Amino acid sequence: MNLINETHDINLTSWVESANQANIDFPIQNLPFAVFRRKNSNEEFRGGVAIGDQVLDLNVVATANIFNGLAQEAVVAANAPALNEFMGMGQEYWSALRLALSQALRAGSEHQHALADALVAQSDIEFSMPCHIGDYTDFYTSIYHATAVGRLFRPDNPLLPNYKWVPIGYHGRASSIDVSGQVFHRPNGQTKAPDAEVPSFGPCKRLDYELELGIYLGKGNALGDAISISNAENHVFGFCVFNDWSARDLQAWEYQPLGPFLAKNFASTVSPWIVTTEALAPYRTCWTRDENDPQPMDYLESAHNREAGAFDIQMDVLLESEKMRADGTPACKLSESSFKHSYWTVAQMVTHHTVNGCNFLPGDMLGSGTQSGPDHEEAGSMLELSRGGKESITLANGETRTFLNDGDKVIMRGWCEKEGFNRIGLGFVEGTILPAK
């Protein structure tokens, strides 16, 4: 299965000059989608595509009527306050529009004059959620994260026996997911200290982030119909960077026997751009399972999944404290990891999620789970970095943390790079914590 096509050619350049700069997130080989409008305007939100430091306004593209066939149908659908209709059209339409946009934005394109007025500087826009997320499921795909966290809660039995057999997930809360720039109050709830006889109520004391990817579903499946692993990726529209904020002290008290609840549903933040699965084709890599571990059941196994089911998407986490903002000092990096370490692939998540007949709708989202790597420095949460709050993390300006303080802003970034292909980025997601109400 050859997933590389002309849109990935490293030699492509754009008439949008900023797209040709080195090491940017949005060269012509990327072309991610978002929903935007100009700042301080009463404009309708509508679809846009990132190119360099600009956004291509799909309202202008759709009304210019310069595309044909599937591409024109797709751009009309993407010219909307939410991308669900476009996402539900399927791979054939996504690819047709991607190719048409790539050709229209290339240096020397006959459409340059028609589209010159379709560009809006990214510095002049604001985002809405890229789609309506009807349902959200958070997975637990990093065995390094699962083992480290399990060791904190269950020292004698850190990794439960089902982990290596089943892509574990739980049904999350879609209503509290918001786009980058989300500001929220520290959650209140019940906690119970280890030496206390009864629980207490008040603000969370162990607020944390989780470094994740969001995986957007496109074309859905009918209730009762499973999606096979050979067809799973045809249902995946694209990816974003995702911060699934967590209240660890609430979590410790409530998570047994039914799993995450109030510790997870008060806020979750997504980056505004959806990088399509097709754009990520060059950064796929082989997926393996340790020969000493259980191998996937037949319904979770395929040659393609072994050969190219993993994605080498690099991610990092930065923290900007109130003091850093006041002093004008930059945010400091806490850790960096990659999605290639995931124990389960996207295709396996999709397939397992539907094997019982569960139906997806366009815009549904999967969380990858916290993406921690094999080394402690690659941990995707403060829970791991501080070893359960037992070790302080020293920031670049001398401040220390075990968990997040009020006023802290967490910034997460994602990108892909590989020899022979242009670097592309997923952009960034940021959110800021306010004091509890």
Residue 13 vs residues 31, 109, 178: alpha-carbon distances, Å: 13, 11, 33
Residues 419 and 316 in one domain: yes
Q: How many CB atoms lie within 10 A of CB 116?
A: 11
CB 324 within 8 A of CB 330: yes
pLDDT at 351 over 90: yes
Task: Specify if 119 maps to a domain.
Answer: yes
Residues 104 and 187 in one domain: no
Residue 166 is predicted with a pLDDT of 97
CB 26 within 8 A of CB 121: no
Q: State which of 105, 128, 151 marks the end of a domain.
A: 128
Residue 75 is predicted with a pLDDT of 98
Residues 96 and 144 in one domain: no
Q: How many CB atoms lie within 10 A of CB 37?
A: 21
Per DSSP bridges, beta strands 125-128 and 33-38 are antiparallel
What is the mean predicted confidence (pLDDT) over 376-385?
Answer: 96
Residue 430 is predicted with a pLDDT of 98
Q: State which of 110, 128, 146 marks the end of a domain.
A: 128
210 is in an annotated binding site: yes
408 is in an annotated binding site: no
Q: State which of 68, 102, 128 marks the end of a domain.
A: 128
**Which pLDDT band holds residue 154 (cuts at 50, 70, 90)?**
confident
364 is in an annotated binding site: no
Give the 3-state secondary structure of residue 317: strand
Residues 201 and 251 in one domain: yes
Block residue for tokens 């802290």: 408
Residues 195 and 334 in one domain: yes
Task: Specify if 216 maps to a domain.
Answer: yes
Residues 88 and 196 in one domain: no
Nearest to 332 by CA among 314, 319, 316: 319
Q: Tens digits of per-residue pLDDT, 90-128?
A: 999 999 999 999 999 999 999 999 999 999 999 999 999
Query: What is the set of active-site residues?
Result: 145
CB 66 within 8 A of CB 111: yes
Task: Specify if 157 maps to a domain.
Answer: yes
Nearest to 144 by CA among 305, 332, 347, 381: 381
Residues 145 and 235 in one domain: yes
**Which pLDDT band holds residue 152 (cuts at 50, 70, 90)?**
confident
CB 189 within 8 A of CB 363: no
Residue 76 dihedral angles phi and psi, to the nearest 5°:
-65, -45
H helix or E strand, kind and range, residue 414:
strand 409-418
pLDDT at 1 over 80: no
Domain of 360, in residue numbers: 136-434
Q: What mean pLDDT value characterizes the chain?
A: 96
Residue 305 is predicted with a pLDDT of 97
244 is in an annotated binding site: yes
Q: Give the E-state strand segments of 277-326 in sequence order.
A: 284-285, 310-311, 314-320
Whichever domain contains 107, its CATH number is 2.30.30.230
Residue 353 is predicted with a pLDDT of 98
- In a 10 Å sphere around its CB, with 0-12 CB exposed, 13-18 middle and 19+ buried, how is residue 353 labelled? buried
Give the 3-state secondary structure of residue 46: strand
Q: What's the first-to-final CA gap in the chain, in angstroms? A: 53
Residues 295 and 326 in one domain: yes
Task: Specify if 343 maps to a domain.
Answer: yes
Task: Specify if 81 maps to a domain.
Answer: yes
Residue 109 is predicted with a pLDDT of 97
> Structural domain tally of the chain?
2
Tokens of 224: 């009762």
Percent of the chain with pLDDT over 90: 95
Residue 373 is predicted with a pLDDT of 96
154 is in an annotated binding site: yes
Give the 3-state secondary structure of residue 378: helix
Angle between helices 69-78 and 91-105 (to 10 degrees): 90
Task: Determine if the peptide bond prior to 32 is cis (ω within 30°).
Answer: no
The rounded distance, in Å, linking the Cα atoms of 399 and 86 is 46
Task: Specify if 1 maps to a domain.
Answer: no
| Angle, CA 389 vertex, CA 386 and CA 392 arms, to 5° | 55
Residue 194 is predicted with a pLDDT of 87
Greater pLDDT, 3 or 15: 15
- What's the maximum distance between 2 C-alpha atoms anywhere in the chain? 74
Residues 102 and 248 in one domain: no
Task: Specify if 199 maps to a domain.
Answer: yes
Nearest to 314 by CA among 336, 294, 295, 296: 336
CB 361 within 8 A of CB 238: no
Q: Tens digits of per-residue pLDDT, 231-274?
A: 999 999 999 999 999 999 999 999 888 889 999 999 999 999 99
Q: Tens digits of per-residue pLDDT, 286-342?
A: 999 999 999 999 999 999 999 999 999 999 999 999 999 999 999 999 999 999 999
Residue 160 is predicted with a pLDDT of 87
**Which pLDDT band holds residue 370 (cuts at 50, 70, 90)?**
very high
Residues 324 and 402 in one domain: yes
Residues 82 and 200 in one domain: no
The rounded distance, in Å, linking the Cα atoms of 274 and 278 is 11
Whichever domain contains 233, its CATH number is 3.90.850.10
140 is in an annotated binding site: yes
Tokens of 141: 């795909």
206 is in an annotated binding site: no
Q: Taking the mean position of all CA atoms in its chain, how far away is CA 193? A: 33
What is the mean predicted confidence (pLDDT) over 58-68?
Answer: 97
Q: How many CB atoms lie within 10 A of CB 8?
A: 21
Residues 162 and 85 in one domain: no
Query: What's the predicted TM-score (pTM) here?
Result: 0.97
